[in-house]
Amino acid sequence: MKLPSHSRYVIIGAGIHGLSTAYHLSVALAASGTGCAADIVVIDKSGVCAGATGIACGVIRNNYFQPAMRELMAHSVDIWETDPETYSYHPVGYMQISCERMHADVATVSEQQKAIGYPSTFIEGAADCTRYMRALFDDWQAQGITSVLHEKRGGYANNRKAMEGLAAKARASGVQIIGGIEVTGFERDLSGAVTRVNTNAGDIACDYVVIGAGPWVRDFWRMLDLPEKVTITNPVDSAQSARMPMWTYWSLQEGTLDIDPDSQKTNDGGPPPVLHVDTDAPLLSDVDGTLITDELWGIYYKPDFHFGGVQGGAVPILVDKPASDVSVDPYGPESKEFSMGEDFAQMWVSALAHCQKRFSGTMPLYKREPSGGIGAFTPDSFPVFDTFHDNCYFIADSNHGYKMLGVGKLVAEEIRSGHSSALLEPFRFSRYSKGSLHPVSNSPFPWS
């Protein structure tokens, strides 16, 4: 497909955010009579689901300590549920299984889920937690667990199949999706607004640009002369404000165990919820019994037929180099160095065995294939959804991306109507200078 010389809306990135925005914008334009899907073109340097979205774990959950994140995720679960077949969505639920150090935080999440009508069951106390888990899995054996939050909605989606379905919906509404188009720069008018997108296939004039480029966000940020460092104002004491890099990179540790996905079922033979375990119980190697860690650790996992086994991950690793030197290829050397290394493989498989006896002795079945990748994180590890230079919308998800299918719908509504979304308002760039930061939990994961 040939790149048009002009499009009203140019959307950069054919992953979950770009495709969701394009599809919902096309629907909104048609409904309002203010345009049509032919006004929208999605461009990507490779193609649909070719980047970070294509190797995402695909977990969909509402388990957040931050009220703004929790409300936004509830909205996204609503969108997943509108077309589960096309989105390859498995509504199996999600479980946060935690040690005492996280008990109070998870209790807060439970109460606030109730406040927004999000159904979940909260179990407290070591004995009751063990009974609850063994009622689901008779081989459950995790230690040090004192709370279980069982979300009855949520689950996971098969990443590539879901995005192919979303792309088909967008194309059916008339959206053009063109692969093999690499953005090389932008042209702006005297006010700073973007007037033209420069690419390796020629230039495309535009009225509005949406950037949903996942870990490549840093490159577009620089092309548009946005700040490399930002001032983070302390909400309690502004004298303690700090200058921080806008982008930090973490290697997302994920992998797959090459076993029959059907082997991970509940006692009654049903599909299991996604399991997320955070504990400070000593983790011993399932290979030789040596101590891996006696500090707080966490894993998540679920059966997945797309990955062909049991797939999941653990706490990410900070890439210890300046952001300017980090490759953001999800299949690149940083990704392979960390997320596919021996240390992660032994930790994750041993953690699976710590939780369920059925995984003991499965270390030889760990699969070495692309999963996880590199994630671009904001200064507070939460998303930035905002307009810059009057007509350029950044969807910078700070690695919360895949589960956020509903963000594209909200962004499309903001663009079409010109009115701010209450759900997106807490994620504006200005929160850093205002000190309107999101609360931080005791989770070992930087995005929680």
The pLDDT value given to residue 30:
87
Question: How far is residue 365's CA from residue 257's CA, in Å, rounded to a whole number?
Answer: 6
Of 363, 388, 74, 77, the closest CA to residue 220 belongs to 388
The pLDDT value given to residue 198:
98
Structure tokens at 163: 């995005």
- Report which residue type is found at 377: F
The pLDDT value given to residue 36:
72
Quick count: other Cβ atoms within 10 Å of Cβ 393? Answer: 20
Question: How far is residue 81's CA from residue 210's CA, in Å, rounded to a whole number?
Answer: 25
Question: How far is residue 421's CA from residue 357's CA, in Å, rounded to a whole number?
Answer: 46
Of 52, 50, 60, 48, the closest CA to residue 372 belongs to 52
Residue 315 CA, chain-centre distance (Å), reads 14
pTM: 0.92
Q: pLDDT digits over 114-168, tens only?
A: 999 999 999 999 999 999 999 999 999 999 999 999 999 999 998 889 999 999 9
Question: How far is residue 221's CA from residue 398's CA, in Å, rounded to a whole number?
Answer: 14
Contacts of 89 (CB under 8 A, 6+ apart): 60, 80, 81, 83, 155, 156, 157, 162
The pLDDT value given to residue 306:
76
The pLDDT value given to residue 314:
87
CA angle (208 as vertex; 207, 210 as ends), nearest 5: 160
Question: How far is residue 74's CA from residue 118's CA, in Å, rounded to a whole number?
Answer: 7
Q: What are phi and psi of 88, to 5 degrees?
A: 50, 45
Question: How far is residue 321's CA from residue 323's CA, in Å, rounded to a whole number?
Answer: 6
- Report which residue type is found at 399: N
The strand ranges marked E within 212-308 are 229-232, 242-245, 248-257, 274-279, 283-284, 291-293, 297-304
Q: pLDDT digits over 165-201, tens only?
A: 999 999 999 999 999 999 999 999 999 999 999 999 9
Contacts of 277 (CB under 8 A, 6+ apart): 97, 98, 142, 145, 298, 299, 300, 351, 355
Beta bridge partners of 255: 312
Question: How far is residue 53's CA from residue 70's CA, in Å, rounded to a whole number?
Answer: 21
Pick the CATH number of 1-58+158-242+380-448 from 3.40.50.410, 3.40.640.10, 3.50.50.60, 3.40.120.10: 3.50.50.60
Taking residues 425-433, report their average pLDDT. 95
Q: pLDDT digits over 274-309, tens only?
A: 999 999 999 999 999 999 999 999 999 999 877 789
Structure tokens at 244: 């921080």
Instruction: Say if strands 248-257 and 309-314 run parallel, antiparallel, or are unpaired.
Output: antiparallel
The strand ranges marked E within 200-289 are 202-211, 229-232, 242-245, 248-257, 274-279, 283-284
CB 335 within 8 Å of CB 329: yes
Instruction: Say if strands 194-199 and 202-211 run parallel, antiparallel, or are unpaired.
Output: antiparallel
Contacts of 189 (CB under 8 A, 6+ apart): 195
Asked if the model's pLDDT at residue 331 lies above 60, the reply is no
Alpha helices, DSSP H, located in 90-216: 103-115, 126-136, 159-172
Decide: helix, strand or coil at residue 156.
Answer: strand
Percentage of the residues of the chain whose pLDDT score is greater than 70? 92
